[in-house]
């Protein structure tokens, strides 16, 4: 072997060793830079550490909410473990193999017009910056996340569409898995698995959601199940302002919702158990649009009342309200179950129907 060939082989060996040793750190350093840029100016981090395998751990992550958000923070997390896909070093979009969030808190809100907002600092502001005209011809960097896992988390949901101030719902002991996530396009279907404890004033229930959802198009195929949920927490969705309130009771709900081209179809079954209504209202008092006495009589027989319904409509139709659609369907379903005149129920909700259908 000639000296020049020997020197070339030594140089190649050194380069391979450096790549194997320094490659993970190089990937982690680049990933750290992109993470800090992606989180935006309202994010703070207690610490960032890099592991031997190139993984990154964020500690004490916080994204403060912008003015007008119903909570102080959009996101908090004790620890976030990020494992990059080292093949991203070879080119193409940055790919992250997994993100695991421990001790996380997430806040979300539903606006008065029914629009769901989640992590606007990441999903809205970042996408807006990517789409805004810029003198810089370089497109926003793409990031692909294969899987996101959430362990022992909490979700605070603020719904402005049912009352003011917003109705607040809370899920704890939240475990979730979703992915893949492609930023900033958000045009790929996410597989979602979610479960947790649904908090209530008198008792706690369970919630499970499974299926797929595409943020960019709103297309979805989701199955949701609420089990043994405190009815007091959800009564604003079932009752009108003047109707008799609820003293106690539990709710089980199974819904299979599909959205294609902004059109929603969601058949489901709702079961009320051990329902006890507040006193007052006289003989004409109603519950979910149905005479109160008829509902109580049905409950007396076996302590359970089951209603089947189907929600349908276009999500982009200003006249379509998911809350009002649910109340109308529930009233009709209760009326059919109890043998009450459906036409009477619809007549009693005439103003509501007029608002839904524009006539």
**Does any domain span residue 263?**
yes
At 1-15, the pLDDT tens digits run 566 655 555 455 555
Same domain flag for 41 and 76: yes
Q: Give the distance from CA 100 to its chain's centroid.
A: 17
State the pLDDT at residue 283: 54
Tokens found for residue 140? 């926003």
d(CA 257, CA 312): 10
Same domain flag for 212 and 183: no
Own/partner pairs for 200-207, CB < 8 Å, 24+ apart? 200/229, 200/230, 200/232, 200/233, 201/230, 201/232, 201/233, 202/230, 202/232, 202/248, 203/228, 203/230, 203/250, 204/230, 205/229, 205/230, 205/250, 205/251, 207/171
Same domain flag for 160 and 67: yes
Q: Who wins on pLDDT, 111 or 324?
A: 111
Which domain range does residue 166 map to? 23-130+142-188
Residue 326 has pLDDT above 80, yes or no: no
Same domain flag for 156 and 261: no
**Does any domain span residue 217?**
yes
**Does any domain span residue 13?**
no
Average pLDDT of the chain is: 75
Same domain flag for 235 and 349: yes
Tokens found for residue 355? 């608002």
**Does any domain span residue 11?**
no
Residue 74 has pLDDT above 80, yes or no: yes
**Does any domain span residue 159?**
yes
At 177-197, the pLDDT tens digits run 998 988 778 888 989 999 999
**Does any domain span residue 219?**
yes
At 146-176, the pLDDT tens digits run 999 999 999 999 998 888 888 899 999 999 9
**Does any domain span residue 201?**
no
Same domain flag for 121 and 220: no
Same domain flag for 165 and 261: no
Same domain flag for 215 and 359: yes
Same domain flag for 173 and 223: no
The structural domain count of the chain equals 2
Same domain flag for 174 and 224: no
Same domain flag for 76 and 30: yes
Reported as a pLDDT band with limits 50, 70 and 90, residue 248 is confident
Percent of the chain topping pLDDT 70: 62
Same domain flag for 153 and 222: no
Residue 71 has pLDDT above 90, yes or no: yes
Angle value at C-alpha 180, between 101 and 109, nearest 5 degrees: 60
Residue 320 has pLDDT above 60, yes or no: yes
**Does any domain span residue 196?**
no
């Amino acid at each position: 072997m000639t000296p020049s060939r020997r020197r070339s082989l030594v140089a190649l060996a050194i380069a391979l060793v450096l790549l194997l040793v320094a490659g993970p750190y190089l990937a982690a350093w680049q990933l750290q830079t992109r993470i800090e840029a992606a989180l935006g100016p309202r994010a703070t981090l207690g610490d960032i550490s890099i592991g031997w395998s190139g993984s990154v751990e964020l500690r004490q992550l916080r994204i403060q909410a912008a003015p007008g958000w119903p909570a102080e923070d959009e996101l908090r997390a004790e620890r976030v473990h990020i494992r990059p896909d080292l093949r991203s070093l070879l080119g193409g979009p940055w790919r992250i193999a997994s993100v695991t969030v421990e001790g996380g808190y997430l806040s979300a809100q539903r606006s008065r017009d029914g629009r769901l907002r989640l992590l606007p600092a990441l999903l809205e502001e970042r996408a807006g910056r990517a789409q805004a005209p810029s003198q810089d011809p370089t497109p926003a960097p793409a990031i692909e996340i294969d899987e996101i896992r959430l362990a022992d988390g909490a979700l605070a949901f603020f719904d402005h569409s049912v009352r003011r101030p917003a109705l607040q719902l809370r899920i704890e002991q939240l475990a979730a898995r979703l992915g893949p996530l492609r930023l900033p396009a958000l045009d790929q279907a996410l597989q979602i698995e979610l479960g947790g404890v649904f908090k209530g004033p008198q008792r706690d229930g369970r919630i499970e959601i499974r299926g797929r959802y595409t943020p960019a198009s709103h297309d979805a195929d989701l199955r949701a199940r609420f089990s043994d949920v405190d009815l007091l927490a959800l009564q604003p969705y079932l009752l009108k302002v003047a109707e008799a309130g609820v003293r106690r009771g539990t709710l089980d709900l199974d819904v299979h919702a599909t959205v294609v081209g902004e059109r929603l179809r969601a058949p489901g079954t709702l079961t009320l158990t051990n329902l006890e209504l507040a006193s007052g209202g006289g003989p004409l008092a109603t519950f979910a649009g149905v005479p109160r006495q008829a509902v109580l009589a049905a409950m007396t027989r076996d302590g359970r009342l089951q209603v089947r319904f189907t929600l349908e409509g276009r999500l982009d139709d200003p006249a379509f309200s998911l809350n009002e659609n649910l109340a109308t369907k529930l009233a009709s379903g209760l009326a059919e179950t109890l043998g009450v005149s459906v036409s009477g129920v619809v007549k009693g909700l005439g103003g509501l129907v007029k608002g839904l259908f524009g006539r």
